[in-house]
């Protein structure tokens, strides 16, 4: 299945009301101007769903956590204190340090991180992850698809993370290791105001996505049960008990 064919099938699976996935990857070349972005990159990433590409670099990722999780800079000394004593996302600074050490982040040797909506791509060359912004109904379909040919208990994971970590860090490492896990994200309260209130993210490493492209048409996405959900996504039936 080509990228073009995938986009057609994705729209068939989820309808026109669901944003298309975004592909991202590190590169020596910027796909667009390195523009100034707000302190948190999450809002800028979500806007890629509207069609404009995004390039991140050490010059426009100004958040200390963001620069760490996008592998542009080492962890600032203040991050463990901020996460534990200001945000209260972890009980102690030591927990934060241990957690980040386990991530094994290696600084990128490429200066740019590009995000491109998939209908603007001819192929996946240079891409490392696929990002979907998903309502619960769309997330149901994405998870069903990921579970179809993967019987592992961690086929789909939800882990503690900032928004940018759940989008980039996990999938980048999984892709480098040839892994098969997908990741639900954007549970970070600090990032949630920057995306629509009914959305989470679903991140797929490209190595896994290439497998999933081959099973898409046979998975639950195109079977009877999900067809009812698709109708609700697209407003063809009413919500809740009116199914």
| pLDDT at site 240 | 59
In what side-by-side order are the strands of the sheet with 156-158?
54-56, 112-117, 22-27, 129-134, 200-205, 182-185, 156-158
| pLDDT at site 241 | 45
pLDDT tens digits along 147-190: 999 999 999 999 999 999 999 999 999 999 999 999 999 999 99
Averaged pLDDT, 142-149? 98
Among 14-23, 32-41, 194-203, 221-230, the range scoring the smallest mean pLDDT is 32-41
Task: Specify whether the CB–CB gap between 57 and 34 falls below 8 A.
Answer: yes
Distance, CA of 212 to CA of 233 (rounded, Å):
22
Distance, CA of 181 to CA of 175 (rounded, Å):
9
| Residue 50: DSSP 8-state | G
Which pLDDT band, with edges at 50, 70 and 90, does 237 fall under?
Answer: confident
Averaged pLDDT, 67-75? 95
Distance, CA of 239 to CA of 198 (rounded, Å):
14
Indicate whether this model's pTM tops 0.85. yes
Name the residue among 206, 221, 170 with its Cα closest to residue 23: 206
């Amino acid at each position: 299945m080509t990228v073009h064919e995938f986009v057609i099938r994705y729209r068939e699976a989820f309808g026109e009301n669901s944003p298309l996935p975004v592909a991202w990857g590190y590169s020596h070349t910027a796909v667009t101007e390195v523009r100034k972005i707000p302190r948190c990159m999450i809002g800028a990433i979500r806007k890629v769903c509207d069609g404009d590409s995004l390039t991140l670099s050490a010059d426009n990722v100004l958040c200390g956590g963001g620069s760490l999780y996008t592998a542009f800079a080492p962890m600032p000394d203040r991050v463990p204190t901020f996460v534990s004593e200001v945000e209260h996302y972890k009980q102690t600074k030591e927990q934060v340090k241990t957690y980040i050490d386990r991530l094994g982040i290696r600084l990128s040797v490429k200066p740019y991180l590009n995000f491109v909506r998939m209908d603007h791509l001819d192929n996946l060359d240079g891409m490392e992850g696929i990002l979907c912004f998903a309502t619960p109904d769309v997330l149901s379909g994405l998870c069903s698809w990921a579970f179809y040919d993967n019987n592992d208990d961690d086929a789909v994971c939800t882990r503690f993370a900032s928004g940018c970590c759940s989008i980039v860090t996990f999938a980048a490492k999984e892709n480098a290791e040839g892994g098969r896990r997908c990741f639900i994200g954007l549970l970070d309260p600090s990032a949630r105001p920057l995306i629509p209130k009914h959305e989470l993210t679903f991140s797929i490493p490209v190595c896994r996505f290439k497998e999933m492209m081959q099973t898409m048409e046979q998975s639950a996405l195109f079977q009877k049960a999900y067809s009812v959900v698709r109708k609700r996504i697209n407003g063809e039936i009413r919500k809740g008990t009116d199914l």
